[in-house]
Structure 1
Amino acid sequence: MSDHERTFVMVKPDAFARGLVGDVISRLEERGLKLVGIKVETMPRERAEEHYGEHEDKPFYDDLVEFITSGPVVPMVWEGQDATRQVRRMIGDTDPAEADPGTIRGDYALDLGRNVVHAADHADEGANEREIGLHFDEDELTEYDAHDAEWLYE
């Protein structure tokens, strides 16, 4: 379907350590999004610096890089209609104190520095392509027909 897009999502080290990977994946699957790429890794520092490059001149940059490289992460690529906007709404406000109950951060996070999940920003033109390309080679992404697509989309 032409209005489908891919979006980048990453479970952060805090959520990995707390055993929340399955819950994050389940929520996205239950919404109807299609998982097309996933891996488990400890992010290399160089990639973390590139991932957060837009924040390089900000005082919290070093803490971001240290945290995201401190343990395993689960980078993923999800596909669906308006996927980026849908995922951003599902994960909630960056600051868990402002995240609505029912969102991933609203349900699982208390602290801005430990906010469970990262997702590409729909307001940032090109964020998905940049982040997907940084974390995945094209041959790591899978094309397939979802068996439930006819029940999700008109």
Structure 2
Amino acid sequence: MEQSASGGGAVDALANEGASATELRGQGVERTLSIVKPDAVAKNLIGEIYSRFEKGGLVVVAAKMVRLSSDAAGGFYAEHRGKPFYERLIDYMCSGPIMVQVLEGRDAIAVNRALMGATDPKQAAPGTIRADFAQSIDANAVHGSDSPASAEREIAYFFSREEICARPALPQGT
């Protein structure tokens, strides 16, 4: 990875574009995959959810809207194949467009999971994305990676390294 002559700021952040997950973690920064699911997209909540990411200190470094085929959804959720909810999950994820994004920041995985709240919106803490916007445990508004290994795999499923555009985080409170 290139080192900037300026010694910091936006130039160093841009050097992160080609950084691997391991290199970023060494700097105290993580990337995580987030999906705004069909129910939340249909309710026009993308902007509100992005605002929560940003207020939580996360930066969107890649994003795209896609409509998953059942093959693509099945590939993404392959670890759940054979579970009782699998077919319902695949049908739901193919029911409308989704917004897929890579979030970057300090402890991004844990921060995103705290912002999302519990998988079951009935158990999610007030003020979390799922408590405020999810319809049910199935239509629960958002997905987020649960570990560095899953984040790396999930990000690679949707994005090439060239599609990730690192940018500096804003200082808190701005």
Alignment partner, residue 64 of structure 1: 89
Question: For residues 1-150 of structure 1, what are the structure 2 equivalents within 5 Å?
Answer: 2-122=27-147, 125-146=148-169, 148=170
- Counterparts of 1:143 and 1:89, CA distance in 2: 22
Give the fraction of aligned pairs with identical amino acids, expressed as a percent. 40
Helix, strand or coil at the partner of 1:85: helix
Q: Do the aligned residues in 1 keep the contact of 2:41 with 2:98 (CA within 8 Å)? A: yes
Q: Please identify the structure whose Cα radius of gyration is greater.
A: 2
- Counterparts of 1:65 and 1:134, CA distance in 2: 16
Helix, strand or coil at the partner of 2:66: coil
The runs of 4+ residues in structure 1 deviating greater than 3 Å are: none
Q: Do the aligned residues in 2 keep the contact of 1:36 with 1:76 (CA within 8 Å)? A: yes
Unaligned 5+ runs, structure 2: 1-23
The aligned length equals 147
TM-score scaled by length of structure 1: 0.91
Superposed CA RMSD in Å reads 1.2
Deviations 1:35-83 (A, max 9, x none): 1000011012222101111110101101101110111000000000000
Displacement of 1:110 in angstroms is: 3.4
